[in-house]
Amino acid sequence: MWRVVSSLPGKGLTNVALLLDPSTATSFQQTTTLFSDPELLSKGKKRDEDFMPIANGHEREELEEAPAIVKSVYDKRIVGCPGDEGEDEHDVVWFWLEKGKPHECPVCSQCLDLRKYLIFLGENSGEQYPQVRGAIAECLSELQSESHENQQKALLTLVSITKVSPQNRNLLTQADGAISTLLSLSMSPSSTTTQLLALSILFNLSLNPNLKQSLADMDTILFLNSVILSSTSAEPSRIAASLLCSLAMIDKNKAKFGVAGTVEALIKAISKPRGPASHHFLSTLAELVQFHGNCTVAVRSGAVRVLIKLVENSDCEDLGGTSLAILCLLARFEEGLTALKETDQIVPLMMDILKGKCMLSKEGAADILLRLFDESEGCISDALRLPEFSSVLADLSVRGSVRAREKASLLMKKLMEANMDDVYGDIGNKTTTYLQW
């Protein structure tokens, strides 16, 4: 819900992150008039920020904390919420947070109190780092508590600390025992909430490129594999898959996952009935198979068969595009291309996809056909025996995306060059057929 938060030091506005203590959240009836309402503005009413102009940090020197002005925006995902893309004036509310003065938000059901917040300044505000370090140390101390409630409050705070700021992520990893503690809690069988929060923090940390390699140790990867395969709840699997995908984004890590069995684990997870985490599994596999060694492992583990099954399933059209993208990556190498050529009815299947609605799937199918045509005359012959194939390509070359049009034109050219006399007969028939396109 909170999109932009700014502190007001003397040097100007600096982005900050405010961490909400869950104990301060209270429900209330919305009785506050929105000063940003256009009707009120037309009647001469001022907005909140007009009542309290932007300060330079010296107007209220009695405050230990600098005043903070918070920009609250309606959540666009809520049905009936006003506004379109962007932050329109009618759905934005500004208000101040001051020490000792709680403020009820007119947008969401939270009561905000600056005393319950920690303010962390941005990259150029090194003087605030001791405050961040202190908060991290306090949270890590709470994580040693036997109380699940205290642990979860500390984890929630760490999630907020690490969600936005790369500097805060680095500070957390520098704390003694932080990573090992989070890994231990993420493996906790007693509390799903604790596990989810710990995994969320590890995912936040993995967003820093400089932390990806150190986080991708073999024990962590093996644990994440087990979460993907054994979790009874979708949420841990989703976060575990996202964490694996994030860690795999640097090339130095990709080989580790092939050795650790992550590719096989993902294929097993994808082969199960569709679930909320299926998209995450596919995205992670797509990242891993950019490495040749992982492509070999995937093909030998039956990835082509599993992905083709997803492509054939009309109920999984949204998964089909990603599945075809992975098949294209596998087809770059001999083992993947051979597995595709050996798939029954591969050319008619790709033609059916070209006739579908998903443009991403069409691009993937056209790419696969190009690779098949380059390597197999039999596939070209199969295509020429399909009465609709040429008209489907012609339609795609006109109404497809830029990428799809380019590939459709290349496919048409290959068909025209392939044994024209045997397919079309004499030159006159050949010209007539071409003009029909």
Which residues sit in the known binding site for Zn(2+)? 81, 90, 105, 108
Question: What element of type H or E holds 336?
Answer: helix 334-341
- One DSSP character per residue, 220-287 reads HHHHHHHHHHH-SSHHHHHHHHHHHHHHTTSHHHHHHHHHHTHHHHHHHHHHSSP-TTHHHHHHHHHH
Residue 131 CA neighbour count, 13 Å, CB half: 17
Give the dihedral sign, CA 338/341/344/346: positive
Binding residues: 81, 90, 105, 108
Q: How far apart are CA 390 and CA 426, in angstroms?
A: 18
Q: How far apart are CA 235 and CA 276, in angstroms?
A: 8
Q: Going by C-beta distance under 8 Å and a sequence separation of 6 or more, which residues neighbour residue 25?
A: 109, 110, 111
Q: Going by C-beta distance under 8 Å and a sequence separation of 6 or more, which residues neighbour residue 318?
A: 279, 358
Q: How far apart are CA 80 and CA 61, in angstroms?
A: 42
- The helix/strand count (H/E) of the chain reads as 24, 8
Residue 67 CA neighbour count, 13 Å, CB half: 20
Check residue 20 and report its DSSP letter: P
Q: How far apart are CA 300 and CA 263, in angstroms?
A: 10
Which residues sit opposite 98 in a β-bridge?
101
Among 380, 288, 357, 373, CA closest to 329: 288
Tokens of 122: 């941005």
